[in-house]
Amino acid sequence: MSPDTHIPTSARRAAMVRRLETDSGLADPRLREAFLSVRREVLLPHAYVRVSGPGADPIDWRLLDGSHPDDREEWLELIHSDESILLQRDGERLDTLVRGPVTGGNMTSMSTYGPATVEALQAMRLEPGQTYLELGPGPGVSLALAAAVTGPGLAAGVERDGHMAAFAQHNLDRLGLGTAVIQGDALEGHPADGMFDRIHSGIGVPCVPPAWVEQLAPGGRLLTTLATRTPSWPGQLLVTRTKTGRLQAVLTGRPRGYRPMLGYRWLNAIGHRARIKEDPGTSRPTRLAPPPDDAYGFWLAAAYLVSGVVRDFQAETMTLVAPEDDSWVVAGPGDGTVRVHGPRDVWAELEDVHARWERAGRPDRYVVDLAELAGPQVVTSGAWTPELAWTLPPLAAVPRQAP
């Protein structure tokens, strides 16, 4: 057994906090203390590790059991890393898992990537005495951290999966934080219809569920990922309600976001890789150089206005695929050309959106109109600019998980 196994978990948490301070901007002193005090080993007693390489189907996994001496060091290192911890396949029961190899299944619950947790909870501006609602808390890591700041009995979660709700509640009870996880449809908010000072969604949604906004108290803040059909360009939505009750909603492009709600299907470029390699397409000139990855405001607009397109980040040069239209574009290596294939000229659509983005002033954030929750939620680049505007897809368009 490695001597590192005997490092106290408190020392591991301290090392994790130092890393989050340096690399991820952890600065809130209350949140820092929460990271130091919340015992992750209680909330994350096991973890799946992927064994298969990219594109494998079915996927091979290995389940680490934190109570087993042969797994303990790897498990402790993993749960105190910045990685997302994979916990549940296909909604399985969590009290009968067996360590070791397993094949197949899709992950249905996991903890949040560490830096994203820091970013989200700091954006919440948590303070003692606030009421806090976590929608889709999974194993409850973010919920526990928030509860450690707000105080006992003030933080609650709504989790759709009954097995995960029971698992999280059992572990949270061991931490003594006075936090309740209720099984229910997170899209409908808290079933008791209370008002909350802070609402955080751990699931991506195509638009804002009305119940979430209705349960946001005056002076409150609501944070969620707006999911599009592509995982390439997520958006983060921050909704605030003023003391007088007026809503303000700002959508910002981000390098990462939360996974979408169950039943939501992302587009995938993997099935086209071999064909693209064999035939990248017909070369044509372009004045648009591949936009930089950190032009988040542009890529967010492209996610909506160049619909049905996903980027293959593993390709050597920028490659965008419209899998349902059997179309793709491969950007040239800085020589003023692109190669296009299929009935859609995806690059021409991108050129058009980029020109509109330029005319709109290269915005990196957008305003979402939530004045009529029952009506369409319209996104604009601030003051009304026809150059760059779109309507969010309705929530009803997303398949809902069966009870």
Query: Which ranges of 47-90 would DSSP assign to H, the alpha helix?
Result: 72-79
Query: Under a CB-based contact definition with an 8 Å cutoff, are residues 219 and 241 in contact?
Result: yes
Q: What confidence tens digit (pLDDT) does each residue in 326-345 have? A: 999 999 777 899 999 999 99
pLDDT at 24 over 70: yes
Average pLDDT over residues 303-311: 93
Residue 2 has pLDDT above 50, yes or no: no
Catalytic residues: 109
Q: Is the pLDDT of residue 118 over 60?
A: yes
Q: pLDDT tens digits, residue range 35-44?
A: 999 999 999 9
pLDDT for residue 263: 65
Collect all residues with Cβ–Cβ distance below 8 Å to 174 and sequence separation of at least 6: 42
- Mean pLDDT in residue range 99-117: 92
- The H-assigned helical ranges of 137-181 are 141-150, 162-175
Residue 43's alpha-carbon distances to 24, 30, 142, 174, in angstroms, are 22, 20, 10, 9
pLDDT at residue number 36? 98
Q: How many CA atoms, within 13 angstroms, populate the side-chain half-sphere of residue 263?
A: 14
Split at pLDDT 50, 70, 90, the class of 384 is: low
Instruction: Give Dmax (Cα) for the chain.
Output: 64
Euclidean distance between CA atoms 302 and 114, whole angstroms? 27
Tens of pLDDT, residues 124-181: 999 999 999 999 999 999 999 999 999 999 999 999 999 999 999 999 999 999 999 9
Flag the least confident range among 1-10, 16-25, 179-188, 349-358: 1-10
Query: 178-194: per-residue pLDDT in tens?
Result: 999 999 999 999 999 88
Indicate whether 12 pLDDT > 50.
yes
pLDDT range class, residue 397, cuts 50, 70, 90:
very low
Can you name the residues that pair with 400 across neighbouring β-strands? none
Confidence of residue 399 (pLDDT cuts 50, 70, 90): very low
What is the per-residue pLDDT for 333? 74
- Say whether pLDDT at 401 is over 50: no
- Give the mean pLDDT of 348-377: 92
pLDDT for position 262 = 65
- How many residues are listed for the chain in this entry? 403
Which residue's entry shows tokens 């959508």? 251
